[in-house]
Each structure stands twice: as structure tokens, then as C-alpha cells.
Amino acid sequence: MFLRLIMTHQQDYVYLLKTMKLSTSMSSLLINQPKYVWLKELGLSEDNPGVYNGSWGGSGEVITSYCPANNEPIARVTQATLAEYEETVQKTKEAWKLWADIPAPKRGEIVRQIGDALRKKIKVLGSLVSLEMGKIYVEGVGEVQEYVDVCDYAVGLSRMIGGPILPSERPGHALIEQWNPVGLVGIITAFNFPVAVYGWNNAIALTCGNVCLWKGAPTTPLTSVAVTKIVAEVLEQNNLPGAICSMTCGGADIGTAMAKDERLLELGGNNAIIVTLYGPLHTKQAVEQYLAAIEQAKQQGGTVVCGGKVMDRPGNYVEPTIITGLPHDASIVHTETFVPILYVLKFKTEEEAFAWNNEVKQGLSSSIFTKDLGRVFRWLGPKGSDCGIVNVNIPTSGAEIGGAFGGEKHTGGGRESGSDSWKQYMRRSTCTINYSKDLPLAQGIKFE
């Protein structure tokens, strides 16, 4: 009897320790602190399902999202397994059968409601972007605003999609360019724009009659969950399948599956910017990359004239850094590091500067500052910048939704947003209709 009592007390003690450990773990999450109670306005909790295909789930790896400003845990998300990814693809494809039959203007109405729902949550969602990604609050709100703006654009587009009726060379014939949705669009987004890149793909793809499967970055899963909850609520209020806008949180396994999945039109997004007003770097690994880049620059002949240090404070803060003295073809100059380092290069001629701009593998955005009108148009011309975005007297970051966004060379070649971006999400058929009583061939060919 005595031995049994000791064992019982020991078990109770172990249980007590486990309870205390769990309680401590939960209380250490930012979402449970009074300062961050607003996170629950987005439907977030300590543990969040990372799969949505009409219903919420997920049984894969549990990951913790950390705030880069102080490296404290925010909340947890359960990622998708490969089996759950496959199940989600099937449910999303099934949802397309209904969505594709809805007239484009009616689809535009749903997108309008998504934009309105985002407007109502713009401040709190922008705050989440800032908290989880690390960019300053106004930029976080700006991301959500970009999604809202693209929704507005897509609503108008919903009544304008279509191809021309072309003149046929044959009498009694009509030539029509017909555009139809591609079906299921897979969207993989990077950590640095966890809302906007999904938004501009999602809004236009939906209007065109496609359904979407989204995998956000594994370091910003809470933003993915929160955005999906907003979109899902709109779909549910309209008695539409939630799988129209599905989501699978995950790492490289899910990303690889999507990239290799021939059932999806994969539209990845990535962007790098250098600014002097900024938040912390996104992860501890980014801080290590920052220090490694500075060391490589020094080894290759560069001189740090400003910055170059990690700030002595909580979080992933580093000093903006300027490095001079490097040759234009130094390997570090050609490397995209996603950290606030500016390499200053001296050139002698305009042609030399243009050539150095074009010799790197990346080709997203570029800018020149000049009052020389001739130089402006040479910069925009065939021997000027070979980037997808070519600016004059403005920075390289901050693109308007009215213009096509995207790069060249290793930065892709596709375009998102802009006047004809909808064509990426649709397939084109050239249709010839013979309403005459004859069967003439094109090019005047006759079989005799």
C-alpha cells in the first residue's frame, strides 16, 4: 500500500510538471499577452490548423512563428502532409466545376466582397504582417491595401474579359479569339510580401474563372491563415465551396510537390528591395547572411564606409551598410542577399553603367536618377536596362497595380498585375465559324 501511494504521488508530480510546462509554453506565446490580444480578431489562436480546403485541418509538422523584432514566439501552425496536399488538390479541382460555370461578372462580385472584407481588417492584418514578417507597420498596411486595390481592378475586369472578333479572309466566316480559365492555379509566395503577392494572383485568377491553391512562406504561416480565414468567410457567406481558395502551409516538400504538379499553373513571386527605413531582418539566418556578405565583400576588396554591425538589441536588427571599392564584377556584387547592403560602384561612362546594370543574372527592378532627357530614353531603350521594371527618378521599390510587375533573366519573365495580366490565368482558343454553304480553305488553297 505504501509503495502504491508513492507511485501515485510520483505520477501526479510528473503530470503537474507537464501541466506547468504546457502552461508556461502557452503563456510565453505573444498571442496570449494582453498587448497582442488583437491577433484573435483575425481568428488566430495558440495552435492553428494550416490546411484549408473547405474545412480546416492539418496533421503535419507543428511549426512556431517567431517575431523577428524580438525572436519571441507568436503562435503555432500545423502544416500539411503530402497526403493532405493531394486531398486539397482534389477538393479544389472539384470546386472549379462550380466556379467555372458562374458568369464572370458574378465572380467579380465575390471578389468585390473579398476586397471589402479586407478593408475592414486592414489595420489589424497590416499589424500581423509587421509582427510576423518584420516590415514597418505602414508597409504592412500597404500590402493589404494592394490586395484591396487589385480586387477593385479585378471587379472591373470581370465585365471586360474577352478577345477580339477578327476579320476572316474567307467569305461567310467569323474568326473569334476565345479566352477560358486554365482551371487550378497554384500560388507560392515568399516571406517578404506575405499578402500582396498572393492577393494580386488570387483576385485576378478568381475573376478569370480559376480556383486557387496557396502555399505561403513557412516563416509567415499566421498571415496565410489569417488571410485565408477572411476569404473563406466571404465564400461561405455566398454558399460557395471554400475550396475555391484553398491553402496548404508547408515547407520544401509541399513547395516541391506544387512546383512539379502538372495539374497546377504555378505562379511564384519574389522581390528584393534596399531601403533606409526598415524593420528587422526576417530571421536569425538572415542576420548570419548579412555578416557573411560583409565578410565576403571585405575579402574581395570592399571597404565598409557605413554600418556593418548587428545592433545590440533584441530581434534581428542590423545597421544599413554601404560598401565601396569593389569591382563591378565581384561575385558578392552579383549575389542577391536580401539584406540592407548597398554597393557603390564608380563608373566613367553611361554605357559602362548600363552594361554593369545588365551583367547580373537578376532582372527585376532598376532605376536611374538624371535630368538628361536623352539619357532617360536611352535608359528605357534597347541598349538600356534589361530589367522588367525600369524607373526614372524614383526608387526601385513600390510598384503600382496598373503596371505589369515582374522581371527578366533569372527573375522569371512572367508578369503579374497590369493591363493584360489576366491572360496568364486563361487559355486562348482561336475559333473559326463557317456560316456559309461552302468549304473554302485558308490561303486560297484548292484541291482539284
Beta bridge partners, 215, equal 188
Altogether, the residues listed in the chain come to a count of 448
User: Which cell numbers hold the place of 76?
Assistant: 503555432
CA atoms of 141 and 129, how far apart (whole Å)? 8
CA 82 to mean position of chain CA atoms: 21
Half-sphere exposure of 405 (CA within 13 A, CB side): 21
User: β-pairing, 47-49 with 72-78?
Assistant: parallel
Stated as kind and residue range, the H or E segment containing 197 is helix 196-207
CA atoms of 293 and 315, how far apart (whole Å)? 19
User: Which cell numbers hold the place of 378?
Assistant: 536611352
Residue 415 per-residue DSSP state: -
Percentage helix, strand, coil, to 5, in the chain?
45, 20, 40
Specify whether 266 is catalytic.
Answer: yes
CA atoms of 259 and 263, how far apart (whole Å)? 10
Q: Assign 113 to helix, strand or coil.
A: helix
Half-sphere exposure of 137 (CA within 13 A, CB side): 4
Half-sphere exposure of 333 (CA within 13 A, CB side): 21
CA atoms of 118 and 78, how far apart (whole Å)? 24
**CB-based burial, 415-434: b 16+ in 10 Å, e otherwise:** bbbbeebbebbbeeeeeeee
Is 154 within 8 Å of 206 (Cβ atoms)? yes
Is 147 within 8 Å of 228 (Cβ atoms)? no
**For 389-404, what is the HEC assignment?**
EEEECCCCCCCCCCCC
CA atoms of 161 and 267, how far apart (whole Å)? 20
Q: Which of 41, 266, 319, 350 is catalytic?
A: 266
Is 339 within 8 Å of 309 (Cβ atoms)? no
Place of cell 479566352: 179
Q: Catalytic residues, which ones?
A: 266
